[in-house]
Amino acid sequence: MSLARRIATTAGAIAVLALVPGPTSAQQVTWAEHVAPILYQTCVECHSPEGIGPMSLVDYQSARRYAARIRDMVASREMPPWHIDRDVGIQQYKNDVSLTDEEIATVVRWVDGGAVQGNVALAPPVPGLPSGTEWRLAEQFGPPDLVIRSTPFSVPESGLDSWWTPEIVVDGIDGPRWVMANETKPQYPMGRKVVHHANTNLIPAGEERGSGFTNFGVGKPFDIYPENTGQMVSPGDKVSFNIHYYPVGEAVADDVVEVGLWFYPEGETPRFATEGDVQWSSQREVMVDGAPLTMQQLVIPPHGRAVTQGIQRLDQNTRIHSCRGHMHLRGSSQQLEAVFPDGHTEILCKVNWNGLWHITYLFEDDVAPLLPAGTVLLVTAWYDNSEHNPVNPDPDQWVTYGRRSGDEMSHMWIGVTYLEEEDFEYLKDERQRRVAQQQ
């Protein structure tokens, strides 16, 4: 069972679901015996009375009411949301919530067979579901060791996008601590609706610039660093928020975004120090007087398409443990590709973009890219401003680069750890040893 699925369940209440075999072709598919286990394992965390989904699916009556819609969304793989292209790149992820072919076939057969309830005694218990007020990682790690809160911001009933960028000085710890996991939590319920995304940078005390620290978007609430990997935070460091708000038709007063941190035990230093999430653009840039200058302008004509590509050379050995795309309404897909020093090329991942979800894809440990110094990363983005784009608000408009939701942009947040040669060789040897044991 993947990490996301373990977190979405409680106290083993539905741990047996992964062992439930699929029905044979001659067997009648019922909600109680075959479909409820799938919905409880992958769907009801969002599709519940307090979830962000548009309907609750926690009982048979609700599932039966929406059976035709469930069939369509599952058969098309629009739900559960998982937008990694299944034909290229790495396919093993810790948080893969996509359904198997067998699970999809089970749901389709249930609907086509009349959406029968079956023997309710065979249905699993309804799982305990996290409240929007709770920390998602608390079940796994307990309450956060430190919570950092933004200063309040009020979002009007209507209007344009707003960005809130307060800086908060780290307090509440006696000395340097290593972060092993973080989670961002907008206020519930309205904060969840008006916060488009919320990112932070960590700026060491006495310095002006820092590195990526935490990220939040719909479908991406937390980060768990790989084993023996952490990011150091010290008293006096500054956490610089970048919160994108968007009105939803109801005024929201004094919204606050919270960032929870979980530490390694005091005095414990992980072997690998991560840089957190690094933002790499899919447009060519150069540095001029310390600031990025875009060399490839993003202009999409009405009813047109476009492609941009960014290039990043790695000056150090690097492990990539996660990737998360970011585009707006005309975004179509993004691809992360590595050109190795010997010239061979590998597609690491391709994301078929869906602006409703900002999912971070966590590579499984034994496939997380280990890239030697000198590797060149290509971040390619495709855009669709035509009427064939189902979320395009107006294909008659010219679209240019910008921060507003109606503008367009493209970058990837890449979770990286830079490695000395000894650590790089250690990770390669450990991976080969584990793979050999599995054979």
Cite the residue boundaries of each domain of the chain with CATH code 2.60.120.230: 133-269, 271-439
Place of tokens 């989904």: 53
pLDDT digits (tens, 9 = 90+) for 286-308: 555 666 555 567 899 999 999 99
- Rounded to an integer, what distance in angstroms lies between the CA atom of residue 184 and that of residue 190? 15
Question: Two tokens at 36?
Answer: 């409820």
User: Which of 129-138, 200-209, 413-422: highest mean pLDDT?
Assistant: 413-422
How far apart are the two ends of the chain, measured CA to CA in Å?
20
d(CA 230, CA 352): 30
Segment 182-199 shows an average pLDDT of 90
Residues of the chain with pLDDT > 90: what percent? 70
What was the pLDDT predicted at 6?
32
Please name the amino acid found at residue 279. Q
Q: Is the pLDDT of residue 66 over 60?
A: yes
In tens, the pLDDT along 394-424 reads: 999 999 988 888 899 998 989 999 999 999 9
CATH assignment, 271-439: 2.60.120.230
**Tokens standing for residue 134:** 């709770």
Predicted confidence (pLDDT) per residue in 30-48, tens digit? 999 999 999 999 999 889 8
pLDDT above 70: residue 15: no
Tell me which architecture the domain covering 133-269 has in CATH. Answer: Sandwich (2.60)
Mean pLDDT of the chain: 88
Segment 97-114 shows an average pLDDT of: 96
Angstrom CA distances, 146 to 32, 170, 229, 254, stand at: 42, 9, 18, 21
Q: Distance (Å, rounded) from C-alpha 129 to C-alpha 108?
A: 26
The answer on pLDDT for 25 being more than 60 is: no
**3-state secondary structure at position 428:** helix
Identify which has the larger pLDDT, 234 or 215: 234
pTM of the model: 0.82
Maximal C-alpha separation, the chain: 70
User: What is the reported pLDDT for 304?
Assistant: 97
Residues 38/106, Cβ–Cβ less than 8 Å = yes
Q: What is the pLDDT of residue 403?
A: 82
Q: What is the pLDDT of residues 319-346, one digit of tens each?
A: 999 998 999 999 999 999 999 999 999 9
Pair 217, 129: CB distance under 8 Å: no
pLDDT at residue 292 in the model: 59
pLDDT for position 27: 72
Which strand (E) or helix (H) includes residue 155?
strand 153-155
Instruction: Confirm if 258 and 144 have CB atoms less than 8 A apart.
Output: no
Residue (of 148, 145, 137, 218) closest to 179 by Cα position: 145
What's the pLDDT score for residue 402?
Answer: 87
User: Which tokens sit at 389?
Assistant: 């784009």
